[in-house]
Amino acid sequence: MTTPYQSTYTGAQVDEAIAIALALSAAEQDPAYNGSFDIGSTEESGTVTGLALTFTPTKVQLTVEIPADGDSIFANPIRASLSADGFSFQLSGITPDANYRLYYTITGDAITES
């Protein structure tokens, strides 16, 4: 019988839970930037520029908002294009009209002074 303060987890499970919590905590400390970008009509790719980030981007998460009855289109960032100024992306199809919007979250490594 266990008491309310006793753990039923084994040592390995507790270690794994601690490692996950530490990883999540570290991820929360990475700098991040959120924004959106209007996608024009008949586009199959695009570039977001002028961000002037204060960190080196390492990851971009993209979501495409589609209009009612719109085509299901998703976007992928182009890794080689990541910079403090912005990034390029490729769409899964051509936008039939200009009612699509790209939402992005950029995370990265803080720039450190040497």
pLDDT at 30 over 60: yes
CA distances from 37 to 16, 64, 74 (A): 39, 10, 14
Q: How far is CA 48 from the centre of its chain?
A: 14
Q: Is 87 exposed, middle or buried (0-12, 13-18, 19+ CB in 10 A)?
A: buried
pLDDT of 7: 53
Q: Which fold has domain 31-110?
A: Immunoglobulin-like (2.60.40)
* DSSP structure class, residue 30: S
The structure's pTM equals 0.70
Give the mean pLDDT of 58-69.
95
